[in-house]
Structure 1
Amino acid sequence: MRHLAFYSPSDPNLELTLKVLLAILGILAASAICGKIALMVKQPRVLGEMVAGVLLGPTLLGVLLPGVQKSLFPADVKPVLYVLSTIGLTLYMFLVGAGIDHGKKSGKSGKGAKGTGGEGAERQGRHVILLAVSGIIPSLVLGVGVGLLWYSQLSRRDVSRMEFALFLGGALSLTAFPMLARILYERGLENSPLGRLTLVAASVDDVVAWCFLAVLSAVHAGSGPMSALQSILLAVVFTGVMLFGVARLLRPLGARVAQTKSFTTGQMYVVAFVVLGAGWFTDRIGIYSVFGGFIAGLAMPRDAAFREALHGRMMDFVSVFLLPIFFAFSGLNTKLNSVAGATMLLAFGMFLAAGFIGKYVGCGLAMRTMGFSWRESWAVGGLMNARGLMILIFINIGLSQRIISQEVFSILVLVAVVTTAGAMPLYRWALPQSIEGRLVTGASGAAGKSREDQAGQREMAADAS
């Protein structure tokens, strides 16, 4: 029987398709296995997926089975994985932006939050600002200091000392906001004074970090000061148009979705056009597409029912299919064997210490000054110290724009894994279940009880965060 033309074994399009599908199958299998193992050891699924990406790269598979690794990820497959991962990141950051509740307050007084009882909106706002500043400034300052110290040994020669230092500080100041939100939800603390305050502050930290990266990317990508200024001004105009123009136009759509609790196909076309169009525009002006996706998310209607329907429609596909591809692509660029020798290990130790101390101590002391107990304060410090997927996105942008070297990228991947893995142990050490149970408010629907045992039944696509 003759082969149909488009099934010809010599057809390069079919050959590339088969290679890409095989690579994706390998990625999904590794992510599923490592994600399950992470859950078994009481770690977030995202940690397992991050590790799976590293294991598929030159760090392990490339050493143990170099032939298999090369066959699974040949050179012509990597550009396709890059495109898919970029689309996945843009959609994911869109969902992160859409999930941020602009109107959240730090909540009413509850047991263990001595400083929040009866306070007005102004005082709540000051507390949010204090925790947000404490979450970003100490890590930024320490990161910049470490970056200045290691510039000569680790930076690319075509990157200025201040660019390198600022990028490192920005990367270390990130918090994995979606991961933090998921942990608080699972444990029934999302409506407690501690939970509300932490969620708002973490969202502010991430917004500031992404804006910071957008400016740094524009400065680095510009052919001169005027080009960088043009990119920054266009980004400001874009943000204004999205948040004050497009957001208004989307309100009727939000009202209809909130009423029906679901999206029609036509409504999903509108959402997809907005987010991908925003990503295309920001890429076009010299700022990475994830910034456009994030701003598009902030421009979405703020109704809780709309956000729930949006996440229910999109997050499964993004987290199960696209994000593992991003982790694998990051793993292909990670060479942990380069983090060897006294010099590189010392650099890793200093990067890790700067990020950890800045977040853990800074946020812990800020919470204590607001009247929270030391246990609550250190629990928040541990959670805010998790960087998860956020730092991987940040440093992948830095690597693609040639702001950081391969060695620095690998060090920061290791920092991401260690800080993410440490978040839950630090939280549990500070807040044992007996103490945590007293903080769960009636609004959580599970007073006095941790929701950790319910996590498997309520598993959402937010596992990716």
Structure 2
Amino acid sequence: MPLAAPPIPPLPAHQLFVFLLQAGLLVLLAVFCGRLATRLRMPAVAGELCVGILLGPTVLGNIAPSAANWLLPRDAGQFHLLDALGQIGVVLLVGITGMEMDMSLLRRRSTTALSVGFGGLVLPFGLGFTAGWATPASLLPDGTHRLVFALFLAVALCVSALPVIAKTLTDMNLIHRNVGQVTLAAGMVDDVIGWILLSVVSAMAVGGAGRDSIVTPLLATTLVLAVTFFILGPLVGRAMKAAERTSDTATVVGSVTAFILLSAAATHALGLEAMFGAFLAGTLISSGPRAVRARLAPLRTVVLAVFAPLFFATAGLRLDLGALEKPATLAAAAVLLLIAVLGKVAGVFAGARAVGLSAWESLALGGALNARGVIQLVIATVGLRIGVLNATTYTLVVLVAIATSLMAAPILRWTMRRIEHTAEEQLRLHDRSVLEWKPADQTPDTVV
């Protein structure tokens, strides 16, 4: 009779202690720096990323190397504990982003949203691909196919960050404006296409750059979309209706969390990006009853207050601004930022003008959709994980994400002063103010 395998030993005490210390310190500093950033009228994600810069190789690694090595030892097993926690956080964050998708808004403004969204995708994608193809070989990771790198950079530059955009519009009281509505609708188009492109390019990076590596992920993507909307859609709809009849919030939150994580695991198993599955799961939940989605407020609070800041702080740990000391790298950063901004703003402007929007409205849309923020940070992390980016190119992509997110609010302030309020906007503002006055026993709606 074979002997049972010995039990797996628990995590060593010192490794557990360091992990708990790292996680607690990163969350604490991320919350503090995020609040500081918002007081300075910047996105909270900028402050949260600064935590990683302060504790990583850029600051602490140079000022006190011994302290940095003790707090963040150069041990893969130790760092992977933080990575695993951060990956759960970012998967749930992407799921929540999908849950905030208003599919009815996308249907109502489909023509304008598609024109603006595609305009903001095609030009940055083309410019990003060209930049990736012309990137010096010294900046490419060893063994990375140039075609895959160029495609990955193109995807990174063409996306927009719907969570950052929505938060910026909310903070500036622009959600009710026509520009705000079109921005959200076009941002949804960018998000959906961006996750599909990321999944395809990621699969190519893992499987090579041959024809099969393109066809296989496209077929897998088609299969996932078909199963999601034709099989899972009706099942999730029935489950959401059943959840509406129960008052057990804990069960609803736990079930939704499990659904997002399992959806991410399913797309990952098919060779696609896990974030794609999480996003699709969120879009299915977004079509559920408002009362059920309101019960998910605890999940949203925990993810945005704990897991997301931890992920952004962890992402910042890999950011080494010392690489910018090299003139060639600094020049590459400036060119990449210029391409990202001009490509997105010009592309959105052209798409908006094509459907009859004014020049100032088109510029406002370009400035808002220029924010890459959360989505580009996720893409950069994926690129580093699968080996398409190295430390230097990762730093460049993250810098573009931060810089473009910081630009959104000033551009919107400058352009929106020149756009008059319409009667439709005034009515929408009135309806919104009525909806905001709710009885104390009702849970208010939330916006990412």
Q: Give the TM-score taking structure 2 as reference length.
A: 0.87
* TM superposition shift of 1:134: 1.0
Q: How many residues were matched structurally?
A: 429
Matched with 2:91 is 90
Against the structure 1 CA distance between its residues 460 and 418, is the aligned structure 2 distance closer, same or farther, given a 3 Å change threshold?
Answer: farther
- 1:252 and 2:242 equivalent? no
Q: Is contact 1:219-1:225 (8 Å) kept?
A: no
Describe how 1:323-402 pairs up with structure 2 within 5 A. Answer: 323-402=308-387
Q: How does 1:179-190 map to 2 (within 5 A)?
A: 179-190=164-175
Question: Does residue 261 of structure 2 align to residue 276 of structure 1?
Answer: yes
C-alpha separation in 2, matches of 1:434 and 1:160: 46
Give the drift of 1:207: 1.0
Q: In 1, Cα distance between the equivalents of 2:363 and 2:202?
A: 34
Tell me the residue number matched to 1:209. 194
1:234 alignment partner, one of 220, 238, 241: 220
* 1:422 equivalent among 384, 398, 407: 407
State how far apart, in whole Å, the 2-side matches of 1:417 and 1:56 are.
18
Contact 1:88 1:326 in 2 (8 A): yes
Q: CA deviation at 1:370?
A: 3.4
Going from structure 1 to structure 2, the CA distance change for 1:125 and 1:437 (only over 3 Å counts) comes to: closer
Secondary structure of 2:58 counterpart: coil
Change (3 A) 1:461 1:103: closer
Distance 1:360 1:306, change over 3 A: farther
Structure 1 position 189, deviation (Å): 3.0
CA distance in structure 2 between the aligned counterparts of 1:180 and 1:304, rounded to whole angstroms: 24
Distance 1:171 1:274 in 2: 27
Q: Aligned partner of 2:143: which letter?
A: D
1:31-430 paired onto structure 2 within 5 Å: 31-74=30-73, 75=75, 76-105=77-106, 124-222=109-207, 226=212, 229-258=215-244, 264-300=249-285, 302-303=287-288, 305-306=290-291, 308-309=293-294, 311-430=296-415
Shift of 1:333: 1.6
Give identity over the alignment, percent. 27
CA contact (8 A) 1:316 1:460 kept: no
Equivalent position amino acid for 1:427 in 2: L
Tell me how far apart the structure 2 counterparts of residues 53 and 367 of structure 1 sit (CA, whole Å): 38
Cα 1:57–1:439 change in 2 (3 A) is farther
Question: Quick one: which amino acid aligns to residue 409 of structure 2?
Answer: M
| Counterpart-to-counterpart distance in 2, 1:447 and 1:252 | 29
**Cα distance, 1:259–1:369 mapped onto 2, change above 3 Å:** farther
Q: What is the Cα deviation at residue 420 of structure 1?
A: 1.0
In structure 2, give the amino acid aligned to 1:48. Answer: G
The equivalent residue for 1:5 is none
Structure 2 CA distance for aligned equivalents of residues 144 and 428 of structure 1: 31
Range with greater deviation from structure 2 (32-41 or 136-145) = 32-41
1:459, 1:408 → 2: CA distance?
A: 42
Change (3 A) 1:358 1:182: same
2:17 alignment partner, SS class: helix
Contact (CA 8 Å) 1:254, 1:301: kept in 2 or not? no
Q: For residues 304 and 181 of structure 1, what CA distance do their matches in structure 2 show?
A: 21
* Alpha carbons of structure 1 residues 232 and 127: separation in structure 2 relative to 1, 3 Å: closer
Q: 1:22 to 1:244 in 2, by over 3 A?
A: same
Question: 1:434–1:382: structure 2 CA closer, same or farther, 3 Å change rule?
Answer: closer
Q: Which moved more, 1:151-160 or 1:196-205?
A: 151-160
Q: Distance in 1 between matches of 2:44 and 2:215?
A: 40
The secondary structure found in structure 1 opposite 2:315 is: helix
In 2, the alpha carbon distance for the partners of 1:37 and 1:185 equals 18
Amino acid at match of 1:102: M
Partners of 1:99 and 1:447 in 2: CA distance: 17
Q: Distance in 1 between matches of 2:136 and 2:274?
A: 28
Q: C-alpha distance in 2, partners of 1:141/1:434?
A: 31
CA distance in 2, matches of 1:178, 1:273: 22
- The equivalent of 1:25 in structure 2 is 24
| 8 Å CA contact 2:86, 2:314 repeated in 1 | yes
Q: Structure 2 counterpart of 1:250, which letter?
A: V
Contact 2:120–2:343 (Cα < 8 Å) also in 1: yes
CA distance in 2, matches of 1:259, 1:60: 53
| Cα shift at 1:153 | 3.3
- Match in the other structure for 1:112: none
Check 1:433–1:141 CA distance in 2 against 1; reply closer, same or farther (3 A cut). closer
Q: Is the 8 A contact 1:320 1:461 kept in 2?
A: no
Shift of 1:285: 2.5
**Alpha-carbon distance, 1:460 to partner:** 9.5
Asked whether the 8 Å contact 1:46–1:388 carries over to 2, the reply is yes
State the alpha-carbon separation in 2 of the partners of residues 52 and 303 from structure 1.
37
After superposition, the Cα gap between the structure-2 partners of 1:460 and 1:353, relative to the gap in structure 1 and judged at 3 Å, is farther
* Separation in 1, partners of 2:189, 2:419: 31
Change (3 A) 1:229 1:459: same
Q: Which runs of 5+ in 2 are unaligned?
A: 1-9, 437-442
Contact 1:171 1:391 in 2 (8 A): yes
Distance 2:282 2:341 in 1: 29
Farther off after superposition, 203-212 or 38-47 = 38-47
Structure 1 residue 430 displacement after superposition:
1.6
Cα shift at 1:69: 2.0
Cα offsets for 1:255-290 (capped at 9, x unmatched): 244566x65333333322321111122222322321
> Structure 1 residues 309 and 158, CA, compared in 2 at 3 Å: closer, same or farther?
same
Give 5+ residue unaligned stretches, structure 1.
Answer: 1-10, 107-120, 452-457
